[in-house]
Amino acid sequence: MITRFDEIKLLAQCMVSDNREAFSRLVEAYQPEVKRFILHLTGGDAPLTDDLAQETFIKAWLAIRSFRGLSGLKTWLFRIAVNEFVSYRRKRHNDAEWDVTGRESVALADRTENPHRSTEARMDVATLLATLPEQERIVSLLFYLEDLPLKKISQILSMPEGTVKSHLSRARNHLAKAAEVL
């Protein structure tokens, strides 16, 4: 974890002198959160998560001079990650090999045979997430997992706060009902 002062210093070094060492420290600091977020967006696909996270940081490096610092670096990185994920999904729209819901259905079937309680609990939340539409899944992860306020989520998704609230409300109802069933 780096302090706000260190973050500003490292960003300045990246912007002014293309300092790669400074950028690698930013990658080191933010990669666990970015990767966890992408991992659950992709339904637990670790190799895909690695690829999308790499693309996220490369895009951040290329655009770092356009970063104005108004929203915070983490918010900006999450915004890039969401864009990377959405553009990947669009490319693979008709590709049957990648389907979160399908994969999680298999996981749900496995879960019934797994006697370990902790594994079962993990499956439950992951399964619940996989049943949500894409926008609601993204909003849920940002709100519940990353604990971001609605204002920041609206910045990340480039949508009005009211729309984020609607997505969150639908996701909340769906998750609450499904959690009781599961």
Residues that bind other proteins (CB under 8 A): 16, 18, 20, 23-24, 27-28, 31-32, 35-36, 38-40, 46, 49-50, 53-54, 57-58, 61-62, 65, 121-122, 124-126, 140-141, 143-145, 147, 172, 175-176, 179
* Identity of the residue, 54 or 166, whose beta carbon is nearer to other proteins in the bound complex: 54
* Shortest Å distance, C-beta 57 to other proteins: 5
* Shortest Å distance, C-beta 124 to other proteins: 7
* Identity of the residue, 6 or 50, whose beta carbon is nearer to other proteins in the bound complex: 50
* Shortest Å distance, C-beta 39 to other proteins: 4
Residue 80 neighbours by CB distance under 10 Å: 19
* Shortest Å distance, C-beta 34 to other proteins: 9
* Shortest Å distance, C-beta 45 to other proteins: 10
Tokens 């983490």 label which residue? Answer: 74
